[in-house]
Amino acid sequence: MKLHGYFRSSASYRVRIALNLKGLSADHWPHHLRKGEQRDPAYLAINPQGLVPTLQDDGGVILTQSLAIIEWLDETHPEPPLLPGDPLQRAKIRAFAQVIACDTHPVQNLKVLARLRELGQGDAVVTEWAAWANREGLSACEALIAHESGPFCYGAGPTLADLCLVPQLANARRFGVDLAAYPRLLRSEAAAKELKAFADAAPERQPDAE
Protein backbone atom coordinates (compact mmCIF):
# COMPACT_ATOMS: atom_id res chain seq x y z
CA MET A 1 0.00 0.00 0.00
CA LYS A 2 0.92 3.64 -0.43
CA LEU A 3 -0.05 6.29 2.09
CA HIS A 4 0.03 9.80 0.67
CA GLY A 5 0.45 12.19 3.57
CA TYR A 6 2.48 14.81 5.36
CA PHE A 7 4.33 14.35 8.61
CA ARG A 8 2.43 17.11 10.43
CA SER A 9 -1.01 16.32 9.03
CA SER A 10 -3.13 15.09 11.92
CA ALA A 11 -5.44 13.25 9.51
CA SER A 12 -2.44 11.35 8.11
CA TYR A 13 -1.26 10.75 11.68
CA ARG A 14 -4.57 8.99 12.46
CA VAL A 15 -4.14 6.61 9.54
CA ARG A 16 -0.50 5.89 10.42
CA ILE A 17 -1.62 4.81 13.90
CA ALA A 18 -4.32 2.57 12.45
CA LEU A 19 -1.88 0.89 10.07
CA ASN A 20 0.56 0.30 12.92
CA LEU A 21 -2.10 -1.15 15.22
CA LYS A 22 -3.19 -3.52 12.45
CA GLY A 23 0.38 -4.56 11.75
CA LEU A 24 0.17 -3.30 8.18
CA SER A 25 2.95 -1.66 6.22
CA ALA A 26 2.61 1.16 3.71
CA ASP A 27 5.08 3.16 1.68
CA HIS A 28 4.83 6.78 2.74
CA TRP A 29 4.57 9.27 -0.10
CA PRO A 30 4.94 12.76 1.35
CA HIS A 31 3.31 15.87 -0.09
CA HIS A 32 4.61 19.07 1.48
CA LEU A 33 1.44 20.99 2.31
CA ARG A 34 3.16 24.31 2.96
CA LYS A 35 4.75 24.15 -0.48
CA GLY A 36 1.44 23.32 -2.15
CA GLU A 37 2.52 19.90 -3.40
CA GLN A 38 -0.99 18.57 -2.67
CA ARG A 39 -2.25 20.69 -5.58
CA ASP A 40 0.01 19.05 -8.13
CA PRO A 41 -2.12 17.78 -11.06
CA ALA A 42 -0.76 14.25 -10.67
CA TYR A 43 -1.93 14.14 -7.07
CA LEU A 44 -5.28 15.78 -7.85
CA ALA A 45 -5.90 12.93 -10.28
CA ILE A 46 -5.76 10.62 -7.26
CA ASN A 47 -7.48 12.85 -4.71
CA PRO A 48 -9.60 15.59 -6.32
CA GLN A 49 -9.80 17.47 -3.00
CA GLY A 50 -6.06 17.94 -2.91
CA LEU A 51 -5.95 16.85 0.71
CA VAL A 52 -4.08 14.18 2.63
CA PRO A 53 -4.23 11.35 3.42
CA THR A 54 -4.94 9.10 0.47
CA LEU A 55 -4.44 5.35 0.68
CA GLN A 56 -3.75 3.24 -2.41
CA ASP A 57 -3.27 -0.48 -2.71
CA ASP A 58 -1.92 -2.65 -5.51
CA GLY A 59 -5.43 -3.70 -6.49
CA GLY A 60 -6.36 -0.22 -7.62
CA VAL A 61 -8.22 0.82 -4.48
CA ILE A 62 -7.97 4.55 -3.80
CA LEU A 63 -9.46 5.83 -0.55
CA THR A 64 -9.60 9.37 0.81
CA GLN A 65 -10.75 10.88 4.12
CA SER A 66 -9.06 9.53 7.22
CA LEU A 67 -12.14 8.17 9.00
CA ALA A 68 -13.29 6.32 5.89
CA ILE A 69 -9.79 4.86 5.45
CA ILE A 70 -9.61 3.76 9.08
CA GLU A 71 -13.04 2.12 9.01
CA TRP A 72 -12.10 0.28 5.80
CA LEU A 73 -8.91 -0.95 7.46
CA ASP A 74 -10.92 -2.02 10.49
CA GLU A 75 -13.41 -3.96 8.38
CA THR A 76 -10.80 -5.64 6.20
CA HIS A 77 -8.34 -6.30 9.05
CA PRO A 78 -10.60 -6.67 12.10
CA GLU A 79 -7.95 -7.33 14.74
CA PRO A 80 -7.56 -5.43 16.94
CA PRO A 81 -10.98 -3.81 16.54
CA LEU A 82 -11.00 -0.02 16.49
CA LEU A 83 -14.80 0.11 16.82
CA PRO A 84 -15.49 -2.51 19.48
CA GLY A 85 -18.56 -3.15 21.58
CA ASP A 86 -22.27 -3.03 20.88
CA PRO A 87 -23.91 -0.60 18.44
CA LEU A 88 -24.41 2.02 21.16
CA GLN A 89 -20.75 1.96 22.16
CA ARG A 90 -19.63 2.19 18.55
CA ALA A 91 -21.93 5.16 18.01
CA LYS A 92 -20.37 6.91 21.01
CA ILE A 93 -16.86 6.25 19.70
CA ARG A 94 -17.79 7.58 16.26
CA ALA A 95 -19.39 10.68 17.78
CA PHE A 96 -16.23 11.48 19.76
CA ALA A 97 -14.08 10.96 16.68
CA GLN A 98 -16.32 13.19 14.59
CA VAL A 99 -16.17 16.04 17.12
CA ILE A 100 -12.48 16.14 16.29
CA ALA A 101 -12.35 15.09 12.66
CA CYS A 102 -15.44 16.97 11.45
CA ASP A 103 -15.92 19.94 13.77
CA THR A 104 -12.53 20.79 15.29
CA HIS A 105 -9.64 19.90 13.01
CA PRO A 106 -11.15 21.31 9.77
CA VAL A 107 -11.72 24.72 11.38
CA GLN A 108 -8.05 25.06 12.33
CA ASN A 109 -6.29 23.31 9.51
CA LEU A 110 -3.74 24.86 7.17
CA LYS A 111 -6.28 25.64 4.45
CA VAL A 112 -8.48 27.72 6.77
CA LEU A 113 -5.56 29.47 8.44
CA ALA A 114 -4.10 30.40 5.06
CA ARG A 115 -7.44 31.86 4.03
CA LEU A 116 -7.59 33.97 7.20
CA ARG A 117 -4.17 35.38 6.33
CA GLU A 118 -5.35 36.09 2.78
CA LEU A 119 -8.20 38.10 4.30
CA GLY A 120 -5.71 40.25 6.15
CA GLN A 121 -5.61 38.68 9.58
CA GLY A 122 -2.27 38.78 11.37
CA ASP A 123 -0.45 35.83 12.86
CA ALA A 124 -1.66 36.56 16.41
CA VAL A 125 -5.32 36.52 15.34
CA VAL A 126 -4.83 33.40 13.23
CA THR A 127 -3.13 31.54 16.07
CA GLU A 128 -5.85 32.53 18.54
CA TRP A 129 -8.50 31.35 16.08
CA ALA A 130 -6.83 27.94 15.92
CA ALA A 131 -6.44 27.81 19.70
CA TRP A 132 -10.11 28.71 20.16
CA ALA A 133 -11.22 25.94 17.80
CA ASN A 134 -9.13 23.44 19.72
CA ARG A 135 -10.43 24.56 23.10
CA GLU A 136 -14.03 24.29 21.90
CA GLY A 137 -13.59 20.78 20.56
CA LEU A 138 -11.46 19.44 23.38
CA SER A 139 -13.87 20.76 26.00
CA ALA A 140 -16.67 18.79 24.38
CA CYS A 141 -14.49 15.67 24.17
CA GLU A 142 -13.50 15.96 27.83
CA ALA A 143 -17.17 15.98 28.80
CA LEU A 144 -18.05 13.08 26.49
CA ILE A 145 -15.65 10.66 28.17
CA ALA A 146 -15.66 12.08 31.71
CA HIS A 147 -17.43 8.99 33.05
CA GLU A 148 -16.05 6.39 30.64
CA SER A 149 -13.77 3.72 32.02
CA GLY A 150 -10.18 3.99 30.93
CA PRO A 151 -7.38 4.31 30.61
CA PHE A 152 -8.17 4.91 26.93
CA CYS A 153 -11.08 7.04 25.75
CA TYR A 154 -13.46 4.11 25.78
CA GLY A 155 -12.12 1.28 27.85
CA ALA A 156 -8.98 -0.78 28.17
CA GLY A 157 -7.77 -0.53 24.58
CA PRO A 158 -7.40 2.08 21.85
CA THR A 159 -10.31 2.84 19.56
CA LEU A 160 -11.05 5.23 16.72
CA ALA A 161 -11.53 7.89 19.41
CA ASP A 162 -7.91 7.63 20.56
CA LEU A 163 -6.66 7.69 16.97
CA CYS A 164 -8.31 11.09 16.58
CA LEU A 165 -7.48 12.42 20.04
CA VAL A 166 -3.71 12.01 20.08
CA PRO A 167 -3.03 13.95 16.84
CA GLN A 168 -5.46 16.68 17.88
CA LEU A 169 -3.71 17.20 21.21
CA ALA A 170 -0.47 17.61 19.26
CA ASN A 171 -2.19 20.32 17.21
CA ALA A 172 -3.48 22.03 20.33
CA ARG A 173 0.01 22.20 21.78
CA ARG A 174 1.34 23.79 18.60
CA PHE A 175 -1.23 26.55 18.99
CA GLY A 176 -0.40 27.13 22.65
CA VAL A 177 -3.54 25.65 24.21
CA ASP A 178 -3.29 25.02 27.97
CA LEU A 179 -4.23 21.35 28.25
CA ALA A 180 -4.45 21.27 32.04
CA ALA A 181 -8.22 21.72 31.70
CA TYR A 182 -8.52 18.28 30.06
CA PRO A 183 -7.25 15.70 32.60
CA ARG A 184 -9.35 12.85 31.22
CA LEU A 185 -8.08 13.44 27.68
CA LEU A 186 -4.49 13.59 28.92
CA ARG A 187 -5.00 10.28 30.72
CA SER A 188 -6.06 8.66 27.47
CA GLU A 189 -3.18 10.24 25.59
CA ALA A 190 -0.67 8.94 28.13
CA ALA A 191 -2.01 5.41 27.77
CA ALA A 192 -1.86 5.63 23.98
CA LYS A 193 1.68 6.93 23.91
CA GLU A 194 2.81 3.86 25.82
CA LEU A 195 2.01 1.81 22.72
CA LYS A 196 4.61 1.42 19.98
CA ALA A 197 1.94 1.86 17.30
CA PHE A 198 1.28 5.41 18.47
CA ALA A 199 4.92 6.25 19.14
CA ASP A 200 6.06 5.13 15.68
CA ALA A 201 3.30 7.18 14.03
CA ALA A 202 4.37 10.45 15.68
CA PRO A 203 5.18 13.31 13.30
CA GLU A 204 8.77 13.65 14.44
CA ARG A 205 9.45 10.02 13.50
CA GLN A 206 8.34 10.33 9.87
CA PRO A 207 10.89 10.44 7.05
CA ASP A 208 9.69 13.85 5.86
CA ALA A 209 9.78 15.44 9.34
CA GLU A 210 11.35 18.87 9.55
Model confidence pLDDT, tens digit, residues 13-43: 999 999 999 999 999 999 999 999 999 999 9
Neighbours of 13 (CB within 10 A): 27
Confidence of residue 9 (pLDDT cuts 50, 70, 90): very high
Half-sphere exposure at residue 73, Cβ-oriented, CA atoms within 13 angstroms? 32
Percent of the chain with pLDDT over 70: 100
The 3-state DSSP class for residue 24 equals: coil
Name the nearest CA neighbour of 150 among 131, 130, 129, 165: 165
Residues 6 or more apart whose CB falls under 8 angstroms from that of 197 comprise 17, 20, 21, 158
- Helix 66-76 × helix 160-174 angle, to 10°: 150
pLDDT at 59: 87
pLDDT at 23: 98
Residue ranges of domains in the chain: 2-80, 87-197
Q: Is residue 88 scored above 90 in pLDDT?
A: yes
Tens-digit pLDDT profile for residues 114-167? 999 999 999 999 999 999 999 999 999 999 999 999 999 999 999 999 999 999
How large is the average pLDDT for residues 43-64?
A: 95
Tens-digit pLDDT profile for residues 98-108? 999 999 999 99
pLDDT at 178: 98
Q: Is the pTM of this model over 0.95?
A: yes
For domain 2-80, give the fold: Glutaredoxin (3.40.30)
- Across the chain, what does the average pLDDT equal? 97
pLDDT at 58: 84
Class of domain 87-197: mainly alpha
pLDDT at 186: 98
Confidence of residue 52 (pLDDT cuts 50, 70, 90): very high
Percent of the chain with pLDDT over 90: 98
Confidence of residue 48 (pLDDT cuts 50, 70, 90): very high
Beta strands in the chain, from DSSP E residues, in sequence order: 2-5, 27-30, 54-56, 62-64
Give yes or no for a contact between 148 and 155, defined as CB atoms under 8 angstroms apart. yes
